[in-house]
Structure 1
Amino acid sequence: MKFRKLTIENYKSFQFPTEIVFPMGEDGRSIFLIGGMNGAGKTSIMEAVTYCLYGGKADDIFRHINRREKAKGNANVAFEIVIEMDDGSELVVKRSWTAGAISEPRPRDLTERLVVVRDGKRVSVQNQEIWQDFIRAAIPPGITQFFFFDGEKIQEIAADDHSEVRLKSSLEAALGIQYINRLASDIIYIKQEERKGFVEISDEDLEFKQSELKREKSKLARKVQERESLRLELEGFKGQLDEARKRFEASFHAAPESREAMREQEKKRVSAANRLAQVESEIRGLCEKVLPFSIAGKVFDGIRRQIDAERELASGEAIKENAATLAKRIVRVVEEPEPIYTEKLSAERMAELERRIFRLLKEGDPGSDITKVLDLSERDAARVLNRMEALDGSDVFLLKPLLDEARGLEVQKRQFEGFGQGGALTSTERDLFDELQGMMEGCSTQIGRKTEQLRLVEEDILTLGKKIRDIEVEIEKLYEKHHISKEKAEFIEECDAIASVLNQFIVRLRKNKVHLLQEKTFEMYRLLSSRSGLIKDITIDDKTYEVRITDRNGHQIRKSSMAAGEKEVFAVSLLWGLAQTSELKLPIIIDTPLSRLDSTHRDNIVNHYFPNAGEQVVILSTDTEIDTNYYRSLKPRLSGAGCLEFDQRQELTTFRKGYFWEKNHG
């Protein structure tokens, strides 16, 4: 199936009928590039396809009617798609909304009309509903999400850490499993209705089991309702949390801190305060013990000089006191142990020498004018000198680094007491800060509580479902005790057999398709990922739909730990895998797929994904996504290109051939 032409009229900025023709390549494949700046109408193309195929609410259509035409009273909107079916036939789907000749139309005045033309023959009005069912069967609405998607859809899948529910619904829609389930349920219903027609239910055990089954089903219905209520509450709290975070960031220009972060901040503040108290205690201790003596340290040199001088004075006085004895000993030294002079001195000269030495020693140092101030004994002088030496090398020199450390701790303490504690905030800002923090903490608590409640309710639903199935088996056994005609019994048996075969078929189909899905997803992921060498395999559980990514060492890689670009590449790979697994040959329409990707992943998307996305690929891009380099790379594969030009003054979008910078080329 391929789209050959799309027409949009009076929708958003497409004021006048605008035709977009999708050319085909010589090999029957097509990659068609449509450029458009933000707001030019790329998203309108996606919406036009969806509305044309499946219709839409009158309120939504009316809200997006071109403003200029609506002001004139023109509330007519029309979409048309020309489709080439797989068998080569042509199908034209035209859907329009009109309010007739009403001067001031309102949404409720719009009337929807569907016209289907196949091979040039218009379908009669009475078959309109049948042809709507045909369109839905040919292009199932449940799976268009992975054929027609935009960058936001990729982001949504990439951000979903628990994608099992989404994956299950998407895959089962692609496989049509819901129709098989419905068929199996219809067969069971027919069997039960048939059984009611010929079995008289009067057995007390059967009545008891039927009433028990009714009670359990009623419990299950209440639990299902409770689950939906919890889901709504959970989504509400998540929305409130998100809103509070946005308000916090807008008000304080910073991301809100978690309770753990604030607790860690408080730990650091307490640690800094404790260390500051310890340092201040050490400073006080030094001040009490050695600081007074250290302040007097400037006079220590004078004391030392005085002690030395008094020691010399004491030595001189000792010499004077013993001058006579010392003079005799000095004179004896002249000749003992042997004479110093060649000529021996006479006794008179020796006596004269002794008298002179005595006078010299007795007079002492005439230049010495020392006053005894300290008058210390030799022992006390030594003790004083030792004490001053100890003070010079004491811990008092640690005082300066301790003071420096104290100043640094004061700065840290003030920082930790700053924003996290509201130190730099005004009273009004402090109140808003506390309000938002309380709101976020409350929402987080409620989210955790509701999540746990939801888990318990899910377990109750599973338990009740099993109990109901067990009761139904017991009822089946009770029914078997009744007399049933051979024909009726065979019919019921055939219904059971068909239902069993359908269930087996669903299990096998799901298992095979899940295996194919994981192969196709990993095939594209290896082409697109910058880390494909690190990824060994991607597996999907065929019962829980849990996605498991393993590295070369066999270790699991959590999706939440992957980089943003890798998550988006995984999302694109999963969409491609789902499209391939569905085996439906539908066109792929992608709106702004590269806006959030880095250069490496963009290269891989352009070179590997676009050429392999499908037989027909329509890319809606800005000039910064598919720029000149990527356009040059894509051009050999393109079947054509066009551009949406938006006139700001007239609020009008027109379509022309040729990409942005190919304005003058056909």
Structure 2
Amino acid sequence: MVETRFTSIEVENIFAYRGRSRIDLSECTDERNVVIVSGRNGAGKTSLLNAIKLLFLSADNENIRRVLFAKAPISPKHFVVGLTGRWSGVFNTAAPKDSPAHVALEWTENGRKLRAERVFERANNVQGYTETLNVTVDGRAAEDGPALLLQLLPQEVVPFFFFDGEQIQSLADSEVGREQVEIERLLGLSFVATILREIDLYTKARYRAGLPGSVSLQITQNENKEREAVAKIEAAERARVALEVEMQDERRQHSKLDEERNRLRTGMSEAERNRMIARIRLLTGERERLAVEIASDLPPEAPWLTNMALVRDAFSALEGYMGAGTAPDVARRLRNELPIELLRRLANQNPPVSLTSDQQLQFHRDVEEALNVAGVVSQKDENPMFASLSPKQVRSLHRRFLVWTDSGESVASAHADRLRTMRQMTHEQQQAERNMDEAEITSDESRQEFNKLTEQMGEIDAKIQLIFQTIAKHQYEEEQAQKELSAAREATRRLHIQYEEVTRQNQAYQFGGKISQALEYFREQKRARIRQSVEDRLNERVGTLLAPSQLIKSVALDKQFHMTFFDERQKEVARRSISAGMRQLVAMSMLWALKDEANRPLPVIIDTPLGRIDRETRALLMSEYFPRAGNPLILLPTNSEFSTEDDLNLAGRIARRYQIQNNGGEEARIVALNIHGQPA
């Protein structure tokens, strides 16, 4: 068994850190596993977290490069050297320009001393920098350095060990199991997928060897279409997931602004506030009821009814078209083709009836006259609006426009009245909210601050709406690409059926298929066992961390490790009814369960560990989660995040304390404190 102990973390001239800072982890034991690195907001806690992530991920990783507001990854060059006015880059801006930036981790493994260091240096090349990963074993360069680092911690699972306590809620918010790939990598399931890909390539090659060249080409083309569709799906999904994360961040920011705004409300009695809140809720409920009524009663022809003049014009055109007799295309065909067809039939009589040219001309005129008498006339031109419609469709359209002409104005008027009522109720609700705001804000200074916060919340609401629309666009792109994928697979399936006999005689292909089926079965069985084990561990952790809660008592995992929550009566709990603090606890429970299941001896780093956690649950984190979350467990709280009670609860588990000092925002350094938080 490999025995791994982590001894130090080192940062130098990277992000907010100027000069070299070192965190000693060598004193961590199973009993004292916690290292606290505290600092005020903006001091450099997130810089430290990102530096450690960068060690394992490199600047090529898209996720670490999602640093701007839109959360789309910037280029590696801009991430490292900076983007003027938007992102400072990896290099510390206060350090000398020729100073490299580096982050390092040291550990021991079965008596060997290992060190992994990622170094960035400015350079006169296209990228503007160089990036080097150095891994040493007992002071000597390791030939397989990158592989050693990946073996220690694969890139896909970095977020499970280094995370922001307030931002891990996405693990509980996820409704599509988007962490499935990362979780399977963490739990040792991904190797099966790698083997399956190799077998699939082999069996496809053997299969095509027995097919005609043209068929093999068609299958290759279909597979290319499949790959293109899969790439589209993955691109759309990545964009959608990034936007979902961004929307969650915006909602959290909206909640924080709302909390700040509510603190300014001081000038109203509780009874008056409750009365006004009841009035606002009543208006809100009436608006929602009316909105549902309007949406359910709105007829499909509503766009037509907004322009009754157009309806009447269309109805008149239909009336004229139908009142003129036989449809123009039918009349034209009868007048042109009937005389010729009658002459052909006369010639086929026994004995044949033959007419001279003059007689045929007269016969043609007689038929036209008979058609005129029967009402099959050709005096009108064909209306292009109805050229592509059958007589049955024209009659159906005529009936519909007849109804619209008779009742359209009354229907449109009724809906217009409802919309006016909706507008009035909206105005009343907004006025009631303004009245409440004005009554609760007692000073001009507070009112200005309140209005400023309200404006910021409105901007966030607009951003959330835009993000929501963009998410819908990516969802549509996913659906379209999924249809393309299904079509390509169906085309390939039809070819397989057509050449099924060739497939049956291809023993290599049949053997590869059997191996694939066996591996798929193995993967599903192993995944089911691991998922059940993780679910059991998760419910144990939920029972610990959420013990005071009456809302969530158990959690179920589906095949994609997507969580469904249940209360004490085993009734499903709506995800949106769960508070941000509770979602943070659920996510921590999941990370705790996954870490124990994976059994990887790795440090865990948590930025803002207590976040929105209430007092009672803090005590549970101190006594139950933090002692077992990792060895070492590095906590990055703000100066005010840990109360005196929190310190007392955790005191027996603390191995080292540090403080981040930062003058001006770009000169952070990590200073050692004693066990009581005083200068060493």
TM-score, length basis structure 1: 0.61
2:116 maps to 1:93: yes
2:604 maps to 1:588: yes
> Do 2:556 and 2:564's aligned partners in 1 also have CA atoms closer than 8 Å?
yes
Q: How does 1:168-567 map to 2 (within 5 A)?
A: 168-196=180-208, 198-201=209-212, 206=215, 210=219, 213=222, 217=226, 220=229, 224=233, 227=236, 231=240, 264=283, 418=431, 465=485, 468-469=488-489, 471-482=491-502, 489-532=506-549, 535-542=552-559, 544-567=560-583
CA distance in 1, matches of 2:38, 2:249: 37
Give the 3-state SS of the residue equivalent to 1:639 in structure 2.
Answer: strand
Structure 1 range deviating more: 533-542 or 502-511: 533-542
Q: Which amino acid is 2:537 matched to? A: K
CA distance in 2, matches of 1:237, 1:628: 34
CA distance in 1, matches of 2:457, 2:666: 47
In 2 relative to 1, CA 131–413 (structure 1 residues): closer, same or farther, beyond 3 Å? closer
CA distance in 2, matches of 1:627, 1:249: 24
Aligned to 2:131: 112
1:260-292 residue CA offsets vs partner (Å, 9 max, x unmatched): 979936969xxxxxxxxxxxxxxxxxxxxxxxx
2:80 maps to 1:69: no
Compute the displacement of 1:564 (Å): 2.9
Q: Which amino acid is 1:75 matched to? A: S
Aligned to 1:658: 674
Aligned to 1:21: 24
In 2 relative to 1, CA 211–420 (structure 1 residues): closer, same or farther, beyond 3 Å? same
> Do 1:174 and 1:581's aligned partners in 2 also have CA atoms closer than 8 Å?
no
Q: Which amino acid is 2:141 matched to? A: R
Give the 3-state SS of the residue equivalent to 1:481 in structure 2.
Answer: helix
> Do 2:283 and 2:429's aligned partners in 1 also have CA atoms closer than 8 Å?
no
> Do 1:33 and 1:659's aligned partners in 2 also have CA atoms closer than 8 Å?
no
Aligned to 1:366: none
**Aligned-residue CA RMSD (Å):** 4.9
1:33-57 residue CA offsets vs partner (Å, 9 max, x unmatched): 2233333332232222222233224
In 2 relative to 1, CA 569–200 (structure 1 residues): closer, same or farther, beyond 3 Å? closer
Q: Which amino acid is 1:616 matched to? A: P
Aligned to 1:142: 156
Give the 3-state SS of the residue equivalent to 2:502 in structure 1.
Answer: coil
1:351-384 residue CA offsets vs partner (Å, 9 max, x unmatched): xxxxxxxxxxxxxxxxxxxxxxxxxxxxxxxxxx
CA distance in 1, matches of 2:21, 2:460: 48
Compute the displacement of 1:181 (Å): 2.0
Aligned to 2:79: 60
Compute the displacement of 1:141 (Å): 1.2
2:104 maps to 1:80: yes
1:568-596 residue CA offsets vs partner (Å, 9 max, x unmatched): 11111112122223332221111221132
CA distance in 2, matches of 1:597, 1:484: 62
Q: Which amino acid is 1:120 matched to? A: G
Q: Which amino acid is 1:65 matched to? A: F
> Do 1:2 and 1:84's aligned partners in 2 also have CA atoms closer than 8 Å?
yes
In 2 relative to 1, CA 554–99 (structure 1 residues): closer, same or farther, beyond 3 Å? closer
CA distance in 1, matches of 2:534, 2:156: 17
Compute the displacement of 1:117 (Å): 0.8
Structure 1 range deviating more: 581-590 or 20-29: 20-29
Give the 3-state SS of the residue equivalent to 1:510 in structure 2.
Answer: helix
CA distance in 2, matches of 1:194, 1:69: 59
CA distance in 2, matches of 1:234, 1:27: 40
In 2 relative to 1, CA 227–422 (structure 1 residues): closer, same or farther, beyond 3 Å? farther
CA distance in 2, matches of 1:137, 1:474: 43
Q: Which amino acid is 1:663 matched to? A: P
1:490-511 residue CA offsets vs partner (Å, 9 max, x unmatched): 4333322222222222212221
Q: Which amino acid is 1:68 matched to? A: A
Give the 3-state SS of the residue equivalent to 2:178 in structure 1.
Answer: helix
Q: How does 1:124-143 map to 2 (within 5 A)?
A: 127=143, 130-143=144-157
Match of 1:630 among 646, 656, 662: 646
Aligned to 1:152: 166
Compute the displacement of 1:468 (Å): 4.9
Compute the displacement of 1:58 (Å): 4.8
CA distance in 1, matches of 2:135, 2:464: 52
CA distance in 1, matches of 2:249, 2:627: 42
In 2 relative to 1, CA 41–242 (structure 1 residues): closer, same or farther, beyond 3 Å? closer
In 2 relative to 1, CA 54–551 (structure 1 residues): closer, same or farther, beyond 3 Å? closer
Structure 1 range deviating more: 637-646 or 515-524: 637-646
Give the 3-state SS of the residue equivalent to 1:19 in structure 2.
Answer: strand
Structure 1 range deviating more: 36-45 or 89-98: 36-45
CA distance in 2, matches of 1:643, 1:237: 30
CA distance in 2, matches of 1:603, 1:640: 20
Give the 3-state SS of the residue equivalent to 2:49 in structure 1.
Answer: helix
TM-score, length basis structure 2: 0.60
Total equivalences in the alignment: 490
Compute the displacement of 1:643 (Å): 2.8
Compute the displacement of 1:224 (Å): 3.3
> Do 1:588 and 1:614's aligned partners in 2 also have CA atoms closer than 8 Å?
yes
CA distance in 2, matches of 1:155, 1:663: 35
CA distance in 2, matches of 1:596, 1:244: 13
1:287-340 residue CA offsets vs partner (Å, 9 max, x unmatched): xxxxxxxxxxxxxxxxxxxxxxxxxxxxxxxxxxxxxxxxxxxxxxxxxxxxxx
Give the 3-state SS of the residue equivalent to 1:152 in structure 2.
Answer: coil
Q: Which amino acid is 1:83 matched to? A: W
CA distance in 1, matches of 2:93, 2:41: 19
Compute the displacement of 1:245 (Å): 7.8
Aligned to 2:622: 606
CA distance in 2, matches of 1:626, 1:421: 38
CA distance in 2, matches of 1:78, 1:225: 33
CA distance in 2, matches of 1:199, 1:556: 54
Give the 3-state SS of the residue equivalent to 1:586 in structure 2.
Answer: coil
In 2 relative to 1, CA 139–527 (structure 1 residues): closer, same or farther, beyond 3 Å? same
> Do 2:44 and 2:668's aligned partners in 1 also have CA atoms closer than 8 Å?
no
CA distance in 2, matches of 1:229, 1:145: 16
Give the 3-state SS of the residue equivalent to 1:93 in structure 2.
Answer: strand
Compute the displacement of 1:660 (Å): 6.3
> Do 2:5 and 2:108's aligned partners in 1 also have CA atoms closer than 8 Å?
yes
5+ long unaligned stretches in structure 1: 269-411, 426-431
CA distance in 1, matches of 2:650, 2:456: 49
CA distance in 2, matches of 1:638, 1:578: 24
1:608-636 residue CA offsets vs partner (Å, 9 max, x unmatched): 11011123212222332233322222222
Compute the displacement of 1:548 (Å): 1.8
CA distance in 1, matches of 2:15, 2:633: 24
Q: Which amino acid is 1:30 matched to? A: N
Compute the displacement of 1:122 (Å): 1.9
> Do 2:544 and 2:624's aligned partners in 1 also have CA atoms closer than 8 Å?
yes
Aligned to 1:167: 179
Aligned to 2:296: none
Compute the displacement of 1:201 (Å): 1.0
Aligned to 1:273: none
> Do 2:134 and 2:145's aligned partners in 1 also have CA atoms closer than 8 Å?
no
Compute the displacement of 1:226 (Å): 9.2
